[in-house]
Structure 1
Amino acid sequence: MADLSSPRPPLLPQPLHLPNGTVIRNRLAKAATSETLATYTNNPTLRLVRLYQRWASSGIGLIITGNVMIDRRALGEPGNVVIEDEADLPILQQWARAATNQGAAIWVQLNHPGKQSTKGLNVSNLAPSAVPFGEDMAALFDTPREASAAEIEDIIQRFGRSAAICKKAGFSGVQIHAAHGYLISQFLSPHHNQRTDEWGGSPEKRRRFLLAVYAEIRRQVGAHFPVALKLNSADFQRGGFTEEESLATVQAMADAGIDLVEISGGTYETGVAQPQKASSAAREAYFIEFAEKVRAAVRVPLMVTGGFRTAAGMDAALRSGAVDVVGVARLMAIDPDAPQALLQGRDSAQRVRPIKTGIKQIDRLGVMEVLWYELQVKRIANGREPRPNESGLWAFVKSLAMNGWGTFRTRRLRAA
């Protein structure tokens, strides 16, 4: 007779079998974070190789890269990697091997910023419609121009081409970034997408761009190469992308054959929502309730990122059946070895904390949740240890100087 009093084995170290036959060695994933470790001509560097070697050595199962852009004319930040041809294939191969040689899967997050690119970085920014940012963000971002039908088709082709190059370089898969207010997220949102042609006007037409991007990627990489999706549960913005539309989008992507869906939420304008209920906070995962709704509708593998603090909380989310992969992001920027503890059922010694500068206008925007952690990632990439107690104000001043210089150098090099 089985000993019913013995503890159940933890689920986090268990392998994940995707429907296409791919096996990921455990259920812990490094979700994408901003890195900006490319040159100012957007070529990947050896610092990325060093960073991913460190993360993969932790024993983590899956690493999803930070933003990789598909077009040098459309950058989200100075120092974004761009993959639009095979010119950087040798170092891309090194980057992929930095993870795969240590048993980790590495998926490239492919993205286009749309209008979500700071002033002065690109010659111009496009979006589904020429909708400006709100008052708080208008000083940082220009009003975009509406994308033409020809530009939309070009972007779709670029997503497919970039994915094919990633496969050739030896990466384990790709992730389509359709969250956080970037271009695909903009197409999905009725606030940002006010078109009345075949690309907008109804939820079905607003989804058409995402489905076309996925179809082109799948055409170029084949049936067995993992293609994942990062999607907002909602934008948390009046007139924006709702939970109902998100659920319908997941269903449509599952029907199309997507291999995994990562659930997130929010945009630059709204920030990432925090749980309002004490019960939700106690469960740690910010988007677990939406994941439960998705799980009731489709069987596509689900990854949830946001809010996880403890090994017990991660195991509980997996045991609920609503989540197949636990995503951690900022924790890996302050404790790159955290998976070694988590996979053994122990908590990291570090805790993710809100980063504040003390300047209300800055802190209200929530930009330090990107900028501060980005600086910690750069320390790891340079072979140093992160500084979990580094001042938010110092990080803001440093980031402001770096981004200003980076924007200037990017524009000068592009014009040369």
Structure 2
Amino acid sequence: MDNALERTGLHDPLSLPCGQVLPNRIMKSAMSEALGTRSNAPDGRLERLYTTWGQGGYGLLVTGNVMVDRGQLGEPGNVVIEDERDLDALTRWAKSAHDGGAPIWIQLNHPGRQSNPLALGHTPVAPSPIPLNLPGAATPRELTPVEIEHIIERFATAAVVCETAGFDGVQVHGAHGYLVAQFLSPLANRRTDEWGGDPARRMRFVLEVVRRIRARVSPGFAVGIKLNSADFQRGGFTEDESRAVVSALAGEGLDLVEVSGGSYESPAMTGSAAASTRAREAYFLDYARTVRGLAGGLPLAVTGGFRTRAAMRAAVESGECDVVGIARPTATTTDAADAILSGRADALTAHQLRYSMRRVLGKVADLKALDGLLDIGWHADQLHRVGAGLAPDLERGRLATTVAMLRRNGRATFRPKRGR
């Protein structure tokens, strides 16, 4: 038989190690919705958003940034899972995706030093007391070994609640500069105890999180991870170190590794890469090729830059990845997977904003980081509109986005801090 006839296509289902079967190879990758209530519970806005995405033809929906600690949010509006207090609302959220026929995984996260960077007076925690390289970033407090153990337990507890609520799996957020990525990074983790000091000890945290979750959930519940290919910072987490983490994770009962890259400080995941990299569409596909053999048959997803059906199809048919992740285009084309799979669209439209007055701003801040935050804010605004039952606003400008971002993230500045 011709090898071309044996190739796996975008329409083909994917069987995961846990036994779940994804109906096709296009995944809505995570974006932070910030649509939780004041008590950090999901409500009707998330149900409306995920009902819309659930009808969009995706093989998998991954939620954005569900935190495991109310005292450490990535931003106001994050949903938090610490226990079963919001089980009914979580169950409705899972059902909203299932009603459209899509499996849904919760992305579990702890922000570490990226805990709400616009909340003045808030003290984040991190592996080491090293602040983000962003204007106004607070110096985090170094976690004690006991606190590290408690955070690992939080991830496991949240995963059990997710399974009880009817979600199909969880994804550990180990990318984009959040706490798991901080433990992996030699720039953020300067510890010399059992949680840092060399690559093997720096990866201990992520291994313990995955092991604890896998031990607590049922065999048919999916456990995945989002991992940086690199931090794209001098002296940071490298591709060689990332390959070593993938190799170590290959034997831990995972179901999917999603490859991404960057952080708030160097936002490679938001399209701020060089024009030559953007032209290739898949920013991290070259890296993915190098970890295929290390993954030991573990399914691999690549997110970042995919826009055309031709590029998505080539990535899957070549075997370079098993799943194509798309994120930002789904904020404005909510049925992006159906558009690609049905042939209605040959390419997805990406929208990217950049700040003006670049010469002036460049003297006081890192333009790449500021543009990345603006881009995240603009797409979050679109998710809020869909959650409110409105159409995306493609004409929304920089000023409106910046004001909304400051209002959304800065409101915690004037709010009494919650107790743990």
Q: Which residue of 2 aligns with 1:370?
A: 376
1:151-190 equivalences under 5 Å are 151-190=147-186
5 Å-filtered alignment, 1:74-93, equals: 74-93=72-91
Code of the residue aligned with 2:244 in structure 1: it is A
One-letter code aligned to 1:268 = Y
CA distance in structure 2 between the partners assigned to 1:277 and 1:339 by the alignment: 25
1:263 is aligned, of 259, 262, 267, to: 259
Mapped partners of 1:122, 1:67: distance in 2:
22
Equivalent residue runs for 1:9-158 within 5 Å: 11-117=9-115, 118-120=117-119, 123-134=122-133, 137-139=134-136, 141-158=137-154
Give the aligned residue type for 1:357.
Y
Once the two structures are TM-superposed, the CA of residue 119 in structure 1 deviates from its matched residue by 4.2
Letter of the aligned partner of 2:416 in structure 1?
A: R
State the Cα distance separating 1:347 from its structure 2 match: 2.3
Contact 1:79 1:406 in 2 (8 A): no
Work out the CA distance in 2 between the residues paired with 1:42 and 1:176.
Answer: 19
1:214 aligns with 2:191: no
Report the Cα offset of residue 340 of structure 1. 1.7
Distance 1:406 1:57 in 2: 34
Equivalent-residue separation in structure 1 for 2:288 and 2:121 (angstroms): 36
Equivalent position of 1:286 in the other structure: 283
Q: Superposed, which structure 2 residues align to 1:398-409 within 5 Å?
A: 398-408=404-414
1:246 counterpart letter in structure 2: S
Partners of 1:311 and 1:346 within 8 A in 2? no
Please say if residues 7 and 318 of structure 2, whose CA atoms lie closer than 8 Å, have aligned partners that are also in contact.
no
Label 1:172 to 1:158 Cα distance change in 2 as closer, same or farther (>3 A): same
Q: Give RMSD over aligned pairs.
A: 2.2
Moved more, 35-44 or 175-184: 35-44
2-side partners of 1:193 and 1:305: how far apart?
26
SS at match of 1:107: strand
**Contact 1:114–1:182 (8 Å) recurs in 2:** yes
Code of the aligned partner of 2:215: R
Whether contact under 8 Å (2:304, 2:325) holds in the other structure is yes
Contact 1:115 1:126 in 2 (8 A): yes
Partner deviation per Cα, 1:306-335 (whole Å, 9 max, x = no partner): 111111110011011011000010001011
Q: Distance in 2 between matches of 1:37 and 1:406?
A: 15
Find 2:222's aligned residue among 215, 220, 226: 226
Secondary structure of the corresponding residue to residue 244 of structure 1: helix
Output the CA distance in 2 between the equivalents of 1:142 and 1:257.
37
Asked if residue 386 in structure 1 is aligned to residue 392 in structure 2, the reply is yes
Residues 242-281 of structure 1 deviation map (CA, whole Å, 9 limit, x = unaligned): 0001001011011112111000000100111666584x54
Shift of 1:61: 1.1
| Separation in structure 1 between the aligned mates of residue 252 and residue 8 of structure 2, nearest angstrom | 32
Question: How far apart are the structure 1 equivalents of 2:346 and 2:106?
Answer: 26
CA spacing shift, 1:400–1:46, aligned 2, 3 Å: same
Mapped to 1, the partners of 2:249 and 2:356 lie a distance apart of 42
Q: 1:78 Cα deviation (Å)? A: 0.4
Shift of 1:354: 2.1
Give TM-score, length-normalised by structure 1.
0.93
* CA positional deviation for 1:357: 3.1
Contact 1:40 1:413 in 2 (8 A): no
Distance in 2, matches of 1:393 and 1:277, equals 25
Quickly say closer, same or farther: Cα 1:289–1:173, change in 2 above 3 A: same
Contact 2:307 2:347 in 1 (8 A): no
- The count of aligned residue pairs is 407
Which segments of 5 or more consecutive residues in structure 1 lack a partner in the other structure? none
SS at match of 2:61: strand
Match of 1:321 in 2: 319
Matched, 1:245 2:249: no
Instruction: Give the CA deviation at 1:35.
Output: 0.6
Q: Distance in 2 between matches of 1:260 and 1:58?
A: 21
How high is the sequence identity, in percent, across the aligned residues?
49
User: For the residues of structure 2 that align with 1:283 and 1:224, how far apart are their CA atoms?
Assistant: 36
User: Which ranges of structure 2 fall in alignment gaps of 5 or more residues?
Assistant: none
Q: Summarize the Cα distance change of 1:22–1:146 in structure 2 as closer, same or farther, 3 Å threshold.
A: same
2:292 — aligned with what?
295
C-alpha spacing 1:403/1:281, structure 2 compared with 1 (3 Å): closer
AA of the residue aligned to 2:202: R
1:87-134 per-position Cα deviation (integer Å, ceiling 9, x unaligned): 110110000011122221100000000010214367421100011222
The 8 Å contact of residues 7 and 317 in structure 2, kept in 1 or not, is answered as: no
**CA pair 199-235 structure 1, distance change in 2 beyond 3 A:** same
Change (3 A) 1:391 1:277: closer
Is the partner of 1:191 in helix, strand or coil? coil
Greater CA drift, 179-188 or 35-44 = 35-44
Q: Could you tell me how far 1:401 is from its partner in structure 2?
A: 2.3
- How far, CA to CA, are the matches of 2:401 and 2:64 in structure 1? 20
Q: 1:282 & 1:349 partners in 2: Cα distance?
A: 13
- How far apart, CA to CA, are the structure 1 residues paired with 2:238 and 2:197? 15
Q: Is the 8 A contact 1:354 1:369 kept in 2?
A: yes
Give the conservation status (yes or no) of the 8 Å contact 1:376–1:386. yes
